[in-house]
Chains A and B, each alone.
Chain A
Amino acid sequence: MSAKNGLSMVEIMVAVVIIALSVGPLIGLLSSSNRMSNASIYEEMAVHYARELSDQLISLSPKFSDIVNDARAMTGDSTLTLATILNDATFKSQLEEHADESSALPLYASGNQLPVRLIISPLDKAFSRRRITVSEMNTSGNSVLKTDRYWKVKIELAWKDQTSGRDTPREVVMAIFLKEG
């Protein structure tokens, strides 16, 4: 009866083998897709963070000379530049804090809080870096863009995908160029 009514061992074995052969790679593929999905989400988030900063810096650029002048007046430091303000350690550390909600981050000059703020979104915990690095452009080889001060603003976002198991963080780098004043 069992031989006639049930599944043969051969059939079960074949089915198991087939399932084993197909599900394994499929699960691997699923996992890979999941990691890729996470990666794209984080990449989009990084782009969002970078856009947020870029937009504000670009729209603030006409006021940079006023901001720097105010900062100089406040600190008494006539050598102070836009790089000094945007590379300020306090500002940088606050930029990388993980908060629960959006915040208006003040700029600093020599420890003094300036009356200018950047609105920033809360940084996801997966992100290990949200950094602005400002450096002055060398305009000696230029023919037109040389009389003013020009700055390269590098915006870096780095995150580590926990599910990937990779130790090296991924990062997005965007850059804009600004004229002071």
Chain B
Amino acid sequence: MQELYQDLKLDAKARTVAKRVSPRLQGKAPTHSPTDRRGFLLGVVLLISLLMAVFIFSFNSIVRQRNTQAHHLMISETANYLAISGLRLLSDKLGSSFETTIKTSCPQLFDQPATSLGSSIDLAGASSICGNVQNDFQNFLNTLDELKEPGILGAYPTCLGMEIRLENLQALTPDTTPEQFQAGRDPIEKCGQLVVKCTIEYRGLKRQATLSRQFRVVSMIPGAYNRFSLFVKKTPYPDSYNALGVKFDGTVDTAYAHPPAAGKTFTGPLFVFNGTDSAAVTSTIPERTEINDKEHLRQRGWVFLGPAGAAADEAVFIKIPSGFEPAAGGHFMLGWPSVSAMPVLAPELIEDNVNFAPQSDFPPHEYSLGAKFQGFYTWEEGNQYGAGGKNLWPGLAAGSSFVPSDHLRSASSWVYPYGGQNKESRTLVVGPVLAGMLKFFFMRGRNTSTSEEYKGLWTSMSESIFNTKVAANHTLQSFAGMWEGTLAPPINGLDFFRSGYESFKKLMPYNSLPDPTPPLPSNGIAFNLLFDFMKYQRDVYPPLNGVPGIAAAAYDAERFLVPRAEEMRNCAVKGLHPHDEMGIFFEENGQYDPNSSPDNCYFMGNLTGITVYDSNLLSNRITHKLDLRKCDNTAEEQEAMEKFLFKQVGGAASGVNETDKPGIFLITRRNGVSDSYADALVFSSRQVKLVKPLIVIVDKGSLILRHDITGTVTDGAPATLCSLALINGHFFIDGAGSVRTLHASLASLHPASGRLLRPPTVSVSSPGQFKIHGGLALTEIGLYENPMNDPLNHLGTTMSHFTEGGEIHYNPRFNPSGPAVVDSRVFVLEDTAGKLSIEGAGS
């Protein structure tokens, strides 16, 4: 029964289904009975619940993902900024004190051209700076308790590594054209990209920050003129450098008036010290050989004095006195140079109180008075008088070696040897310079009572006392007669030497007037340019008290040697140095042809053609630029420049400006600025302390040096190179104090400007003297004015402005041929922002 019922039930269900299906099969719409809805609601509810669950779980999943992303972002950004911090610290360190490190770890960057270095250099292995900065930075990271991972073993953020690479190395001056050599060329200068990386791990996330910055390796030697202690492109008048009256005892003759300067009186000489090293020459020191003597000379600063006259085609006269003044002077060349191929003698100190005891009482003695020209002499085969024997004068048509243009080349080559009491200073004078050397006067005789021979030099004898002696003694009087004679053929400057003012009569140029008659210096001699006189210490050699006498006729015929430096060997006239086609080379290695050995040539060209603009200053070498064209006035420019170049150290009152970063800085001033004092920029409103080397180029207008510029001095010269170059302007020395000390090279070589001056209205307390430890390159350093011919007359002239004179001490670190040239090259990161990128550091 139960089974039957079950069958019926199933059968009924089957019928019901069949009923539902049959209309479809029959083509009719299905019909629903209310009982069919049973379970539908449940299905709908389940479906809705399912959809809600799916939606909410999806939403939750998305939110979780977003949450994770946000948290990841937070961790990522934290790691990013830590990586950037580390990168910045390393990058700053590279910019500030990387110099020493990179010079140690990668010296080839500073002494090899880019072409020999390949395209990139990895410094990570070569330098410990990466590891050290990494360790230091990790020390910093270990203070970040806030970022420490949770848990007992939670770790601080970790600096995984730092890297430095130099990439895309290229030469700054690849050209080897004559134009490039005229502008100067340092083949080592290069540019490239510094790539610095810092990798940080924070909470398992690694981030690497990469910074690419443009760098340059540039020389802090601005141009070819830095080979010179004093570089003057133009000499308005032949005797520009001899306008100072000096008495026989070395004191300045303030009563002396220089006739060509319309009776102007100058009171302070210009001293030029061509080096820093001192030499205590004793009897145990070997004599210099020709080779090491030449090497020694190569390390001295040279002097260039441009041609004289309105057409720049006349010679320049320099009368170089001996300098009897004990404190500043000494005697030069009292020994005599050896003949060719013999060792060159070091000059001799005359210990006046020992070998040449000054005599204050003449009458009891028999004496003779003699004189000897001092200074350099050149020698060449067949011409024992050297350059002095050449017919170098216009109008002189005789002589087989006569070349009309010779007088414009140079009659002066090595001024050799000079120096101060403690500083020897020999130099090469380049230019059409006729140098006259002072005779020194001596007496020798026999004491009538003892028969003892004595010798004496006049030293520290006042003019009045000497004149008294002269007046009282006829023998002396005979020596006091001035030179008179016939000059045939007539020479330029005759008036100066024969019938001109008294001082020139007493300082005759040996080169042109080798007359043995000794003129007597009594009233004073004119000079302004002093090549610092030296006083070498040497105990017994040569035995001056044992030789017949310096005035012996035998020594008049002595041949004198001038070191024949390689730079001079192609010169047509031995001992003369041209200025219009000369070279400055890095090494003395026999390779002096810029076509075949371009990388040994620093300069090849005409010295008178050098200007600041094209003297290698602006040819791809600028590392930092400051554009002041939007400034409204000079004060705004001043403030911007000072902030650009310096950082102030110390308080407002006693603070100094320290050079902030190394490099070559171009200051572009606003339009319309003139070279007047009113428009001039003040270089610094505080004393400048040189910490980083720099070259500052101002494109227009003048520069006021109101404060000293000083830095650390090592080996007698400023260790930090500083150059100030004006493209079109003057240097004005202003401010307080009696002396302005500048550890810098000053250069202004524009044809229409370029002087070192005091302000138009000179304050009593402003410096009347300058001391430059570096070098001085100016367009004109005239000593007097001529309104008819001097285009810059309204500004005055250098030595008339500086009534207390000046000193130029050459800094050998500026010498491109010197051993310090490698150190002059610096690694500079440019001001451009560089490219910073962050990326995952991988596993």
Where the two chains meet, the residues of A that have a C-beta atom closer than 8 Å to any C-beta of B are 4-8, 11-12, 14-15, 18-19, 22-23, 26, 29-30, 32-34, 36-37, 39-41, 43-44, 46-47, 50-51, 54, 58, 61, 65-66, 69, 72-73, 78, 137-139, 141-148, 150, 152, 154, 172-179, 181
User: How far, in angstroms, from A16 to B559 measured CA to CA in the complex?
Assistant: 130
* CB neighbors of A among B634-689 (8 A): 643, 647-648, 651-652, 660
B66 partner residues in chain A, CB cutoff 8 A: 36-37, 40
Structural contact, A44 and B70, CB atoms closer than 8 A: yes
Structural contact, B140 and A150, CB atoms closer than 8 A: yes
Knowing that A23-B49, A178-B88 touch, tell me 5 more A-B residue pairs with CB under 8 angstroms. Answer: A36-B66, A37-B67, A65-B648, A72-B651, A175-B85
User: How far, in angstroms, from A148 to B143 measured CA to CA in the complex?
Assistant: 18
Structural contact, B42 and A11, CB atoms closer than 8 A: yes
Structural contact, B143 and A14, CB atoms closer than 8 A: no
* CB neighbors of A among B385-418 (8 A): none
* Interface size of B in residues (CB-CB distance below 8 Å): 58
B362 partner residues in chain A, CB cutoff 8 A: none
* CB neighbors of A among B137-181 (8 A): 137, 139-140, 143-144, 146-147
Structural contact, B63 and A36, CB atoms closer than 8 A: yes
Interface CB pairs A-B, < 8 A, 7: A36-B67, A37-B66, A73-B652, A143-B135, A177-B85, A177-B86, A181-B660
A154 partner residues in chain B, CB cutoff 8 A: 146
Structural contact, A18 and B35, CB atoms closer than 8 A: no
Structural contact, A174 and B81, CB atoms closer than 8 A: yes
Contact for B647 among A32, A44, A146, A181, CB less than 8 A: A181
User: How far, in angstroms, from A43 to B73 measured CA to CA in the complex?
Assistant: 9
Structural contact, A144 and B140, CB atoms closer than 8 A: no
Contact for B56 among A26, A65, A66, A143, CB less than 8 A: A26
Contact for A44 among B37, B73, B78, B143, CB less than 8 A: B73
Structural contact, B45 and A15, CB atoms closer than 8 A: yes
Structural contact, A177 and B38, CB atoms closer than 8 A: no
Judged by a CB distance under 8 angstroms, whether B18 is at the interface is no
Structural contact, B93 and A39, CB atoms closer than 8 A: no
A152 partner residues in chain B, CB cutoff 8 A: 140, 143-144
Give the dominant DSSP class at A's interface: helix
A73 partner residues in chain B, CB cutoff 8 A: 652
Judged by a CB distance under 8 angstroms, whether B69 is at the interface is yes
User: How far, in angstroms, from A138 to B64 measured CA to CA in the complex?
Assistant: 41
Q: Mark B22-66, 1 if CB is under 8 A from A, else 0.
A: 000000000001110111011001101100110011011001101
Closest CB of chain A to B158's CB: distance in Å?
14
User: How far, in angstroms, from A181 to B659 measured CA to CA in the complex?
Assistant: 12
A142 partner residues in chain B, CB cutoff 8 A: 135-136, 139
Contact for B63 among A37, A66, A148, CB less than 8 A: A37
Structural contact, B136 and A146, CB atoms closer than 8 A: yes
Closest CB of chain B to A111's CB: distance in Å?
19
Closest CB of chain B to A34's CB: distance in Å?
8
Closest CB of chain B to A29's CB: distance in Å?
5
B82 partner residues in chain A, CB cutoff 8 A: 175-177
A7 partner residues in chain B, CB cutoff 8 A: 37-38, 41
User: How far, in angstroms, from A44 to B147 measured CA to CA in the complex?
Assistant: 17
A174 partner residues in chain B, CB cutoff 8 A: 77-78, 81
User: How far, in angstroms, from A133 to B651 measured CA to CA in the complex?
Assistant: 26
Closest CB of chain B to A72's CB: distance in Å?
7
Contact for A65 among B84, B86, B137, B647, CB less than 8 A: B647
A43 partner residues in chain B, CB cutoff 8 A: 67, 70-71, 73-74
Contact for A176 among B35, B53, B81, CB less than 8 A: B81
Structural contact, A69 and B46, CB atoms closer than 8 A: no
Judged by a CB distance under 8 angstroms, whether B281 is at the interface is no
* CB neighbors of A among B69-100 (8 A): 69-71, 73-74, 77-78, 81-82, 84-86, 88-89, 92-93, 96-97
Structural contact, B38 and A8, CB atoms closer than 8 A: yes
Structural contact, A51 and B93, CB atoms closer than 8 A: no
Residue among A14, A33, A138, A178 with the most chain B CB within 10 A? Answer: A33
Judged by a CB distance under 8 angstroms, whether B719 is at the interface is no
Structural contact, A18 and B139, CB atoms closer than 8 A: no
Judged by a CB distance under 8 angstroms, whether B622 is at the interface is no
Judged by a CB distance under 8 angstroms, whether B129 is at the interface is yes
Structural contact, B56 and A30, CB atoms closer than 8 A: yes
Residue among A30, A72, A145 with the most chain B CB within 10 A? Answer: A145
A47 partner residues in chain B, CB cutoff 8 A: 70, 73-74, 77
